[in-house]
């Protein structure tokens, strides 16, 4: 029975040393280089430690070599009905290379084998197959599949229009520069939209690298990925949400239903996809219990959301069957019409944005920036300004890190100052009750 292990050429060396694959079988052995280097300190239990930048990819390659070498060995035995040997040459005292080593050198490390594997897939074929597999996986959202399909379509369109071949070995800095220019000039994409498409490309290439379809690592370099910019987003104040809830849309029932859904989202922090699924059975006394669709793979537990009075009113209004059978695209369209008609958000907002490779200044009424995701940002910001602990808000919003949560907050410098002042005023008021001393706050008005 064959056994396979990895050994270092110089296990006690002070520099990086080659990793060898040692294949033992039938009282014989073959040793070949894996063409990978590692510092002896980073070699732990037949694996490259997590301290090494690309340890996962390197370990995946070693595991693949291990599996492939066993397949080659078994295939030889099956075809010739014997063990591979080292042939003798009467004219050469050293003899010929071992049969198994010859096969390993030919089948494990040929560029054609590593790039195309047995399936002989091109980059586009691999990408399409990956989409097909993930589409069959119910854990991958339809939205994510749509993003992958769009990036694939863009790459095919780029190849067709520029005549620049898209293949595994050509993903490098030159491709990055040309593809960015194409997305800026042909599609007029923003910096953040371009970055999202590159994230998909990198994810596909990582998957291909792990499966030995791709041996090109240039896409891992910093210069390959484009830069992003801070996006401009709006959120509503508590007063604005309350005024919107009270606004009379009785003459336009469609806008009234959209308003009601939006208000529920503002008071629950739910994403649009979760809002669409919201049913009576999610209500549990004073709380909503909802498993978030986007994060259920990593966190299958439901988030518990307090049912605030406006949410309760809206549920009762619709007899606990919210009018949530509407697409995200339609919802965003009607939200802008609803916000414009309310005349609550006619103030002008101004910001800069890089689009089509050019920085432009954009000024328009705030209602044109309101969309479904505005409600989620509004919930986080309102809760934060009211003094709800950050960790409590995160438990409801589903944010896993404080860094990602803080990006959702749309709090001005004045609001930060007001919040700080309120906390200190409460402290001084409490201190006055305890000590009986009167502490006056400075009033410069």
Of the ranges 92-96, 114-118, 228-232, the best mean pLDDT one: 228-232
Local structure of 33: helix, strand or coil: strand
> Are 236 and 411 spatial neighbours (Cβ–Cβ below 8 Å)?
no
**Does 246 share its domain with 215?**
no
Please report how many Cα atoms fall inside a 13 Å half-sphere around the Cα of residue 72, on the Cβ side. 24
**Does 189 share its domain with 288?**
no
**pLDDT category, 331, cuts 50, 70, 90?**
very high
**Does 55 share its domain with 135?**
no
**pLDDT category, 307, cuts 50, 70, 90?**
very high
Q: Which of 392, 379, 396 is nearest to 235 (CA)?
A: 379
**Does 136 share its domain with 69?**
no
Q: Residue 294: pLDDT above 80?
A: no
**Does 98 share its domain with 166?**
no
**pLDDT category, 114, cuts 50, 70, 90?**
very low
Local structure of 355: helix, strand or coil: strand
**Does 28 share its domain with 75?**
yes
The confidence score (pLDDT) of residue 116 equals: 43
Q: What is the pLDDT of residues 129-188, one digit of tens each?
A: 899 888 887 667 788 899 999 999 999 999 999 888 898 888 998 899 999 999 988 888
**Token pair for 193:** 């939209």
Distance CA 55, CA 65 (A): 15
In a domain, 88, yes or no: yes
Q: What is the pLDDT of residues 239-286, one digit of tens each?
A: 999 999 999 999 999 999 999 999 999 999 999 989 988 988 999 889
Bridge partner residues of 362 (DSSP): 351
Cα distances from 285 to residues 265, 282, 304, 315, 321, in angstroms, run 19, 10, 11, 13, 17
In this prediction, residues 367-382 reach a mean pLDDT of 92
**Token pair for 120:** 């002989």
In a domain, 296, yes or no: yes
Distance CA 213, CA 115 (A): 4
**Does 57 share its domain with 167?**
no
Among 79, 109, 139, residue at a domain's last position: 109
The confidence score (pLDDT) of residue 118 equals: 38
* Least-confidence region, from 61-75, 88-102, 251-265, 420-434: 88-102
**pLDDT category, 10, cuts 50, 70, 90?**
very high
The confidence score (pLDDT) of residue 445 equals: 47
**Token pair for 254:** 């469609």
**Does 307 share its domain with 209?**
no
In this prediction, residues 28-54 reach a mean pLDDT of 87
Q: Of all residues in the chain, what percent carry a pLDDT higher than 90?
A: 38
In a domain, 190, yes or no: yes
What total number of domains does the chain contain?
3
> Are 190 and 357 spatial neighbours (Cβ–Cβ below 8 Å)?
no
**pLDDT category, 29, cuts 50, 70, 90?**
very high
Q: Of all residues in the chain, what percent carry a pLDDT higher than 70?
A: 89
* Least-confidence region, from 20-34, 74-88, 304-318: 74-88
Mean pLDDT value across the chain: 85
**Does 245 share its domain with 364?**
yes
Domain of residue 52 covers: 3-109
Look at the pTM and tell me if it is higher than 0.85: no
> Are 34 and 19 spatial neighbours (Cβ–Cβ below 8 Å)?
yes
Distance CA 375, CA 251 (A): 24
In a domain, 292, yes or no: yes
Residue whose structure tokens are 């197959």: 129
Q: Residue 370: pLDDT above 70?
A: yes
The confidence score (pLDDT) of residue 375 equals: 94
Give the angle subtended at the CA of 310 by the CAs of 308 and 311, to the nearest 5°: 65
Q: Residue 443: pLDDT above 70?
A: no
**Does 151 share its domain with 247?**
no
In a domain, 114, yes or no: no
**Does 202 share its domain with 272?**
no
**Does 206 share its domain with 267?**
no
In a domain, 439, yes or no: no
> The domain that contains 198 carries what CATH number?
1.10.150
Distance CA 56, CA 358 (A): 38
Cα distances from 336 to residues 277, 329, 367, 442, in angstroms, run 23, 11, 6, 43
Among 178, 193, 224, residue at a domain's last position: 224
The confidence score (pLDDT) of residue 358 equals: 67
Distance CA 150, CA 197 (A): 8
In this prediction, residues 301-307 reach a mean pLDDT of 90
Among 179, 198, 224, residue at a domain's last position: 224
H helices present in 318-411, as ranges: 328-342, 372-386, 390-397, 402-406
Q: Residue 378: pLDDT above 80?
A: yes
Q: Which of 67, 9, 63, 66 is nearest to 38 (CA)?
A: 9
> The domain that contains 364 carries what CATH number?
1.10.443.10
> Are 266 and 379 spatial neighbours (Cβ–Cβ below 8 Å)?
yes
In a domain, 423, yes or no: no
In a domain, 26, yes or no: yes
């Amino acid at each position: 029975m064959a056994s396979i292990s990895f050994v270092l050429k110089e296990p006690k060396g002070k520099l990086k040393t080659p990793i060898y694959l040692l294949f033992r079988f039938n009282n014989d052995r073959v040793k070949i280089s894996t063409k990978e280097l590692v510092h002896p300190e980073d070699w732990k239990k037949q694996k490259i430690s997590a301290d090494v930048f690309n340890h996962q990819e390197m370990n995946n390659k070693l595991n693949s070599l291990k599996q492939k070498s066993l397949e080659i060995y078994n295939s030889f035995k099956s075809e010739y009905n014997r063990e591979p040997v080292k042939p003798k040459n009467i004219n050469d005292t050293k003899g010929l290379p071992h049969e198994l080593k010859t096969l390993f050198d030919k089948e494990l490390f040929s560029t054609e084998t590593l790039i195309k594997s047995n399936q002989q897939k091109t980059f586009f074929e691999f990408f399409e197959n990956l989409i097909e597999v993930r589409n069959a996986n119910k854990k991958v959202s339809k939205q994510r599949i749509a993003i992958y399909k769009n990036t694939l379509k863009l790459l095919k369109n780029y190849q067709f229009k520029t005549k620049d071949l898209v293949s595994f070995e050509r993903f490098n800095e030159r491709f990055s520069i040309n593809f960015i220019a194409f997305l800026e000039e042909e599609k007029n994409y923003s910096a953040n939209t371009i970055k999202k498409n590159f994230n998909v490309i990198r994810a596909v290439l990582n998957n291909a690298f792990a499966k030995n379809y791709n041996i090109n690592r240039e896409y891992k370099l910093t210069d390959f990925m484009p830069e992003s910019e801070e996006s401009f987003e709006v959120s509503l104040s508590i007063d604005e949400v309350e005024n919107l809830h009270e606004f009379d849309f009785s003459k336009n029932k469609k806008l009234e239903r959209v308003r009601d859904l939006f208000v529920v989202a503002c008071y629950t922090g739910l994403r649009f996809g979760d809002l669409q699924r919201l049913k009576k059975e999610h209500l549990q006394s004073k709380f909503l219990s909802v498993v978030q669709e986007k994060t259920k793979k990593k966190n299958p537990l439901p988030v518990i959301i307090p049912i605030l009075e406006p949410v309760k009113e809206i549920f009762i209004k619709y007899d606990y069957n919210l009018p949530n059978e509407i697409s995200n695209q339609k919802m965003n369209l009607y939200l802008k019409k609803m916000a414009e008609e309310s005349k609550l958000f006619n103030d002008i907002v101004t910001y800069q944005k890089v689009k089509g490779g050019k920085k432009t200044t954009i000024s328009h009424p705030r209602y044109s920036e309101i969309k479904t995701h505005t409600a989620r940002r509004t919930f986080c910001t309102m809760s934060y300004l009211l003094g709800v602990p950050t960790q409590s808000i995160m438990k409801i919003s589903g944010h896993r890190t404080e860094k990602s949560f803080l990006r959702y907050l749309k709090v001005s410098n004045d609001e930060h100052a007001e919040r700080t002042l309120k906390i200190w005023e409460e402290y001084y008021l409490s201190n006055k009750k305890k000590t009986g001393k009167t502490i006056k706050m400075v009033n410069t008005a």
